[in-house]
Structure 1
Amino acid sequence: MTALRSRTLTRGGLLLTTATATALALTAPVTPAFAQEGPGEQAIGLTDGTLDWGVKESFRRYITGPIAHGSATAADGAEATESGFRFTGGTGAYDLGTHAVDTAFDGSVHFLGHDGLLDLKLSAPRVVTEGTAGTLVTDVTIAGETTEDVEFADLDLTGVAPGSGEGGALVFADIPATLTADGAEAFSYNGTPMYAEGTALDPATLTVTPETPGGEDPDGDDPDGDDPDGDDPEGNDPGGDEEPLGPVHDGTLDWGVKESFRSYVTGPIAGGDVELTGGATEIADGYRFPGATGAYVAETPALDAGFDGAVRFTGHDGALDLSFSDLAVDIEGTGGTLIADVSSKDRETGEVSAYQDIAVAELDVPEGALTPDGDVITLAAVPAALTADGAQAFAGFYAEGEELDPVTVTVALTEDADLPTDPNGPGGSDGDDTPGGPAPQGGAAGGALAATGGATDTAALLGAAAALAAAGGAAVHAARRRTTTTTDTTP
């Protein structure tokens, strides 16, 4: 799974580089203006970019307030906004080999205060990213002396999800920014830094637009040598007249976790409940997680989509406490994974073991399933098998390879795409689909201990119930992933 997600990166929703790759992979062929020197390494141009950044709100107030009695002036292509400043004219490149983004912007902001004793100008900002890390680079002028390319702020792209803007632009809103050591030197007055390294700055919002086939060639050249005017009179433009599909605009994920497990939790042995939060709702065959965002690459094909909502299972008077949240699918071709944040409580120790971005299930995706129909992708009842990491979270209920409930994913690739109506109908047998309410008996999550999953399921569940009673709680023993954390919940 390499097209949309590097395994060395945490998801947190979706990453800047993976989402940029989605749109950029659809803009080939690549213009030579952004080709890298290494063999097989190329980059795709970015244009019409903007950077919205206020530097630091408290600093802006200080400069223009009664103490410094100064000003903050935007110029050279930058403009003042309600939340700070907008830098325009962004151009740059996305590297297909390293998945790095480098975009430079026009504009400057000049802070003057204390009758000119505080004199700071930031100009020509650049955003440079690779993976979940990034840097905001700017030229810094202090009292007329300029230092170029100062790494002013560190950017944290973990969990930054892409949105869509005008003309196919990708918008990455509210990227957390913290002051670097070099940036701290710039924030000084009378030789004393006003802020320490690591101080939170205003978040940055980055907007970039991939250059599309048949568009303007920044060098004025024709990369193929067959259309010097940039026109395609024969109608052979590989980009066609259609806007490339890229960002995911909406959609749902339907998953019941495991039918026999749902019945066990709410049955007479565990005597538990199922709680749905964050927009998740009950449907006939499990639960629905809404609010899809993410990215789609048609050429691969590949889909990376995250969903809202959470489901929490509790039973055995709190000894069983298992939840799934921040669900996502990462699919390339006919292979994929179901990813989630998972937590499980150990009653004996009072700890909650939390797994971030765990690969819960392997998905067996049918050939051609990622082909859109009317700008909508529908993956219906995709078989899912428990991974080794997923087995950890189930506290020994099931082994690696165990069949889970199938996964159904429906996503819209354009804002006006017509998503299908609910094929499963309303959830629950009593018509009460209130999130967080107890599961109705005999419904999707109700009834006595089910043998639907076969004798192996029943034996495993009964064995686990006995273990809970004997040991006083379920413990996750396997080696923790690097992202696992524990929280003491002892009363």
Structure 2
Amino acid sequence: MPARRRRSTALAAAVATATALGATALTGATPAAAAEVPLTGYELTWGIKDSYRTYVATYARGTFTPADGASQADGNGAFTFVNGTGGYDSTSHRTAIGFEGSLAIESKAHGFALTLSDVKFDSSAAEITADVTRNGATEDDVPLATVTVTRAMTDMATRLTEKAGEVFGSASYAGAAGDPLTIVQKTKPTPTEPTPTEPAPTDPAPTDPEPTEPEPSTDPEPTDEPTSPEPTSPEPTDEPSSPSQSPAPAPSQSSPSSSAPPPSASTPSDDETPAPARGEIADGTLGWGVKESFRTYVVGPIAKGEVTASDGASQASGNGAFTFTDASGTYDTDAGTLDASFEGAVNFKGHEKDGAYGLDLTLSDLKATLDGGTGELSADVDKLGEQSQDVVLATLRAKSSGLTAEDDVITVDGVAATLTEAGAKAFGDFYTAGTALDPVTLSVALSDDADLPGGTGGGSTGISGGTGGTGGTTGGTGGTGGVIGSTAGSTTGGLNGALASTGSDTPVAALGGAAAAAVAAGAGVIFALRRRRSTTE
């Protein structure tokens, strides 16, 4: 009995349900009767893929419409299908459940519409299937994802199938990690059948109230520990990729240096005095990647553009994050405040047509403030020649409310950055307010001879003056809109061309015909931005 208690409460409930309905191995039921345990009242929650939801709701200006009992979590979240019924086979250890509810996915702007219904989970096949309706025709039991099945049936890792890539319009989805899958029993049935009349067993009654017949295992090859799901993507999850990146753990800002100085260094000389608790910033750097999926999009097969850092800013190799330099401003370690400005500019340019660019955005004169661990990141923004000063792009939240100087340097790593309403407008609503941007790293020197750490923020390492390259795609076929981009060549297709991978699992609609003309005019689905001329000679 103790070993049985360790099993999932959800599956134990399934056995209890079977017991209540008369499937009683303890009372001498035949092997055939004991093999099938009915399951009812289950719910399945799955988001497909975070970056796909972001793409539909943001880039494609589309909608998700749950119906027939299905629902979607707030904030463009995961989908839940209800009233799951099925059975558990105690001989083969197979669990098969079908769920009620449908989900319509539509974008008039990108020309696709499909509906998912009759969602099913099969632990033996380790997959999720659904009926898919497109163009007035329905294909039954389409395999959308494979599942790493666990006993608990919660947060199970999923991987999208090749067929899912066709259904959702991006060949890059085939084999990509999907959102985690959870199946739980929400409604426990009330026993409606009479108590079995078979004679009671002659063995002493069990003292544990839990049923003693074998409990169902949803894992085809049971293991003692559930398999942890893979992380999802989106910015892009995202996305977009859900698309945001998690910063690497930063060293504690309040911890002393791990290497103790030699005894002679412990006592400062007459001209080596500790930095005051407050004062002027002598120098400093700000490391920030803006957003990885955006950088990837700009140089990718759709925008076919470039990223350029200038005026003292640099970009890490491999289309990495940016470093802005020559900080000035003030600090107060007692109050935990920092107000710093940085030199350098970064330009994002793409969607070139007849010498004009549909995307041309410049960020410069970045400023960062912190007060008790929270603050703001602002910049001067130029889009299509329209200049805006000191636009608050993001709110900031550091891991600690305090500021600590070590060797006359204050370093704050992994500062979370969240897009503001003003920031979303600056990006032409390419992302919605509340979207996680790349994390920020701040390092400021409190004296002229202090040594600043190298590297950049946003999860990239090393500093490079290089810029991102360009790329293209070779169109394929199938999916929600038609042409699907891969990773090399040039994009082809018309207005109904479907999705192309940006390199961060974020599909973006291919541009062609009227759409490309609209972008070139600055009024397309992709926002149009123009680089501002630098006023600094």
Question: Normalised by the size of structure 1, how large is the TM-score?
Answer: 0.40
Which is strand-richer, 1 or 2? 1
Question: Normalised by the size of structure 2, how large is the TM-score?
Answer: 0.37
Structure possessing the higher radius of gyration over alpha carbons: 2
